[in-house]
Amino acid sequence: MNGKQGRDSILSADGRFCFSCHRGLACFGSCCRDVNIFLSPYDVLRLKRKLGVSSSEFLQEYTLLAHEAGIPLVQLKMREGEDLRCPFVGPEGCRVYDERPWSCRMAPVDIKGPETYTFVFDSAFCLGLNEPEEWTVTGWMADQGLDVYEEVEALFKQLPGRFKLTGLDFLDRHLRRLVYMACYDVDRFREFVFDPVFLEAFEVSRVGKEELQDDVALLKFGFAWLMSEPDLEVTLKLRDKLPAL
């Protein structure tokens, strides 16, 4: 391909670009420091499994609460005193590479709009954009395993349009805690769901309880439950089980 690739480039889903990342590049690992990486619910689930910790432990150790005005979002916390590098990156590269977040998988491609794409970096910074290996945007996304995110998080993407704050501080804090727990703190949410008060009020079947032992099934259940605008009076009875924000 001819011409430089960078943040001024515009690509369609079938647009072609060149890219390859490897340790032989002088910039290897440079994109993994001092960067804002927002984690999706499925990112948190995959990373906590990879590290062998609970979702609560992962969120406390590795994330920051990034947004409280509407849907709570979580951001990966860069290491302090180490050039603000990602906590999972060392001299040999990423230690969670097979379960790396969505944004890391998508890079160097960036979504600009519906069926419109660009790049996160310019080729002067990301030398991988000067490599000869050629991709289409669609091919790159498939190669990076991004299709599974579309399936798991379909309802999560609809949630902002359904999430309505009441204007009452106490209830709005409660709502944010519910959303944060159901979307990110899956292990705590399982304890919440299996409380007798919840089981009786929201009629989870025996088969349903068995299915909810699976993290992905529980995550999808949480999205659907939030979309159903659950009875706040019931959830307030269980507020002691919610995470603090």
Which residues, in sequence order, are CB contacts of 41 under 8 Å at separation 6+? 152, 153, 156, 183, 184, 186, 219, 223
| Residue position matching structure tokens 């180490």 | 82
Structural domain ending residue among the three candidates 128, 151, 174? 151
Based on the domain organization, do 26 and 133 belong to the same domain?
Answer: yes
Cβ atoms < 10 Å from Cβ of 203: 8
Instruction: Give phi and psi for 16, each to the nearest 5.
Output: -105, 145
Q: Please state the domain count of the chain.
A: 2
Q: Does the reported pTM lie above 0.75?
A: yes
Based on the domain organization, do 161 and 207 belong to the same domain?
Answer: yes
Based on the domain organization, do 97 and 128 belong to the same domain?
Answer: yes
Based on the domain organization, do 21 and 83 belong to the same domain?
Answer: yes
- Kindly report whether the peptide bond that precedes residue 108 is cis, defined as omega within 30 degrees of 0: yes
Residue 225 domain boundaries:
155-241
Based on the domain organization, do 106 and 184 belong to the same domain?
Answer: no
Based on the domain organization, do 128 and 161 belong to the same domain?
Answer: no
3-state helix, strand, coil split of the chain in percent (to 5) is: 45, 15, 40
Check residue 135 and give its pLDDT.
97
Structural domain ending residue among the three candidates 151, 175, 199? 151
Tokens at 210, concatenated: 């068995």
Element (H, E) at 235: helix 232-236
Check residue 99 and give its pLDDT.
97
In order along its 245 residues, the chain shows pLDDT tens digits of 546 788 899 999 999 999 999 989 999 888 998 899 999 999 999 999 999 999 999 999 999 998 655 789 999 999 987 689 999 998 778 999 999 999 999 999 999 999 999 999 999 999 999 999 999 999 999 999 999 999 999 999 999 888 788 888 899 899 999 999 999 999 999 999 999 999 989 888 877 889 999 999 999 999 999 999 889 999 999 999 999 88
User: What number of helices (H) and strands (E) belong to the chain?
Assistant: 12, 9
| Nearest residue to 188 via CA among 60, 15, 33, 28 | 60
* Residue 211, Cβ density class (10 Å: 0-12 exposed, 13-18 middle, ≥19 buried): middle
Rounded CA Rg of the chain: 20
Structural domain ending residue among the three candidates 133, 151, 169? 151
Based on the domain organization, do 21 and 115 belong to the same domain?
Answer: yes
Based on the domain organization, do 172 and 212 belong to the same domain?
Answer: yes
Based on the domain organization, do 132 and 169 belong to the same domain?
Answer: no
In a domain, 48, yes or no: no
Residues in the chain: 245
Check residue 160 and give its pLDDT.
86
Element (H, E) at 67: strand 63-67
Check residue 68 and give its pLDDT.
57
